[in-house]
Chain A
Amino acid sequence: MNLFFDSNVTIGYVFKGDDWNTQSKNIFRCPNQKYYSQSVLNETKHKIKIIREKLFQGLLVLSSELLRNETIRDYLKLNDVLRFLNSLGFEESIKRKLQKHMHILFSEKYSYEVGKDELSQDIKQEANSLMNDIVIKFNFIQANLTKHHRTKVYISLGNKLMGNNEDFHEEDVAIILDAHDLCHTCNPLTLITADSRRKKDDLIIKFTNIDDVKDLRDFLIMKCP
């Protein structure tokens, strides 16, 4: 069985903190022939851009502010860092993620307190590890998955999908059409997605050449289609 990955699979794979990371890693390890498309790649890149802007740069800001702030003590406990983090004006969701990083860093590395220069360096290192991991996995996707280039537009099929179900967004449909187009040369083909819903999946199978739709949720335990 050939597999076509939706962008939530590739995003889940590249980003360790994603909700679908375990499932995505499992499906990636399957020996089946795996495909994706430019639309999938674009959405994955877009997500990386957001992570970079929020989390990666957030860690860099925290690292830098520890060095620049003259009022902060030379040695810090976790609570001091969390208090300092609160004062930096990050938006709530980023703040929560940064707090999580600090909890992990303190539990893994420091016994009680840590010098602010060392902490600043470690946070910078953490930011670099995060981006490095993302980029290496992104490169891995490009090297190990086959990219399909759709040549036809399929306007009426696209309208049919969009007109039948409000759950279909333009970006989703573009990816479904990529998989549909691939079916002309490669079948049987299964679409793997985290957006799987019974009604939606039935419509995809009814209107397109895609043979099956599998829910990414089902790959929490390692198994291959």
Chain B
Amino acid sequence: MERGTILDFAAFHLIRSFGGYGKKYRFNKFMYLLDKELKKDDIDIKLPYSWYRHGVVVEYNIDDVDYISSLDFSEIPKESRKKVINIIKVIMDEYRYKTTDEVNKEEYQEAPYKIQDYFREMLEITKSDNTKPSELSKWLKKSLIEFPSDDFDDIYPLFLEWENYLEKLIEIDYPKKETKDFIQNFWFTFAEKLRLLTCTNINQVLIEDWEDTYVNDFSELEDFLFNFSFQFYSEYYTPIEKNKNQVKSEEELHRMASKTVWE
């Protein structure tokens, strides 16, 4: 019989304790909580996780429950096994009847960067039918103030460009669906760097894979914002009067010069 680790043991018992909708999603959250509690008792299950687009993601395959259940856990100290089972029970008692959104909100209080919670709020607003795009402004402003520019220095100028456009798009009541896409365009690239900075117990091959993804996504975001700038200033941006007149006079001079010769 193949030997299982304390991580396998914890995963197996957690999976057994809940089921149904949002399985992997809830598994991620609960494993993170479990790990946090176990660390207080000096038990390190070496949980492989990172913070990503929608919260914590645990790199553990929960699909093959039969395999996990076939593992031999006898070498794990009895005391540790008992602790794992007790904490899972406490977590289940507390969270079993909470909605995924409630669990998610609580989890984000532990997020390493405040901006993660602000983006969660912004995406929630764009998802709901009962919200106005103007509600985004508050969170956008908070994101600008709290953006972690030391850790995310490379993407900071792109964030500012993106924020500049979004601020104006909100003002002109840009359609909700497009606003959501626009937010995700930045957020998903940010999240690639986020998981690189927060990854714990992740193997080097996977990290290198994530690094490649980030480089690729970063360049796509740059191109997206560059192309969007043409659309933005051509269609959505209203210049202050001074500039409007300046552009008008350019066109006027051009027309006058043409007339002088041809008339």
Cα distance A124–B253 in the bound complex, in angstroms: 29
Q: Which residues of B contact A61 (CB under 8 A)?
A: 156-157, 160
How many A residues have CB within 8 A of the partner chain?
Answer: 33
Closest residue on chain A to residue B242 by CB atoms:
A129
Q: Which residues of B contact A125 (CB under 8 A)?
A: 240
- Whether the Cβ atoms of B145 and A67 lie closer than 8 Å is yes
Kindly identify which residue among B234, B247, B251, B261 contacts A31, using a CB–CB cutoff of 8 Å. Answer: B261
Identify the stretch in A132-140, A174-182, A202-210 within 8 Å (CB) of chain B at 4 or more residues: A132-140
Kindly identify which residue among A56, A64, A138, A140 contacts B250, using a CB–CB cutoff of 8 Å. Answer: A140
- Whether the Cβ atoms of A60 and B243 lie closer than 8 Å is no
Cα distance A44–B226 in the bound complex, in angstroms: 13
Q: Which residues of A contact B232 (CB under 8 A)?
A: 135
Contacts A129-B240, A133-B246; A52 near B226 (Cβ below 8 A): yes
**Contact mask for chain A residues 149-190; partner B; CB cutoff 8 A; 1 contact, 0 none:** 000000000000000000000000000000000000000000
- Whether the Cβ atoms of B144 and A64 lie closer than 8 Å is yes
Cα distance A133–B242 in the bound complex, in angstroms: 11
Cα distance A129–B246 in the bound complex, in angstroms: 11
- Whether the Cβ atoms of A68 and B233 lie closer than 8 Å is no
CB-CB contacts below 8 Å: B150-187 with A: 156-158, 160-161, 164
Q: Which residues of B contact A134 (CB under 8 A)?
A: 233
- Whether the Cβ atoms of A135 and B230 lie closer than 8 Å is yes
Cα distance A30–B157 in the bound complex, in angstroms: 39
Cα distance A2–B251 in the bound complex, in angstroms: 20
Q: Which residues of A contact B261 (CB under 8 A)?
A: 31
Main secondary structure of the interface of A (DSSP, over half): helix
A16 nearest CB across to chain B (Å): 9
Cα distance A3–B166 in the bound complex, in angstroms: 41
Q: Say yes or no: is A144 at the interface (Cβ < 8 Å to chain B).
A: yes
Kindly identify which residue among B145, B237, B260 contacts A132, using a CB–CB cutoff of 8 Å. Answer: B237
Closest residue on chain B to residue A129 by CB atoms:
B243
Cα distance A87–B239 in the bound complex, in angstroms: 31
- Whether the Cβ atoms of B157 and A57 lie closer than 8 Å is yes
Q: Which residues of A contact B242 (CB under 8 A)?
A: 129
Q: Which residues of A contact B233 (CB under 8 A)?
A: 128, 131-132, 134-136
**Contact mask for chain A residues 21-49; partner B; CB cutoff 8 A; 1 contact, 0 none:** 00001001111000000000000000001
Cα distance A28–B144 in the bound complex, in angstroms: 41
- Whether the Cβ atoms of A31 and B161 lie closer than 8 Å is no
- Whether the Cβ atoms of A124 and B230 lie closer than 8 Å is no
- Whether the Cβ atoms of B253 and A29 lie closer than 8 Å is yes
Q: Say yes or no: is B229 at the interface (Cβ < 8 Å to chain A).
A: yes
- Whether the Cβ atoms of B237 and A140 lie closer than 8 Å is no
Q: Which residues of A contact B158 (CB under 8 A)?
A: 57
Q: Which residues of B contact A136 (CB under 8 A)?
A: 233-234, 247
Kindly identify which residue among A30, A31, A52, A67 contacts B229, using a CB–CB cutoff of 8 Å. Answer: A52
A104 nearest CB across to chain B (Å): 13
Kindly identify which residue among B164, B243, B247 contacts A124, using a CB–CB cutoff of 8 Å. Answer: B164
The 6 listed contacts between A and B (C-beta, < 8 Å) are A31-B258, A31-B261, A57-B160, A134-B233, A139-B230, A140-B251
The 5 closest A-B pairs by CB, nearest first: A135-B233, A57-B157, A60-B160, A31-B261, A29-B257
Supplied contacts A60-B160, A140-B251, 13 more A-B pairs, CB within 8 Å: A28-B254, A29-B254, A29-B257, A61-B160, A64-B144, A68-B144, A125-B240, A128-B239, A131-B233, A132-B239, A136-B234, A136-B247, A140-B250
A residues bordering B, Cβ < 8 Å?
A: 25, 28-31, 49, 52-53, 56-57, 60-61, 63-64, 67-68, 124-125, 127-129, 131-140, 144, 224
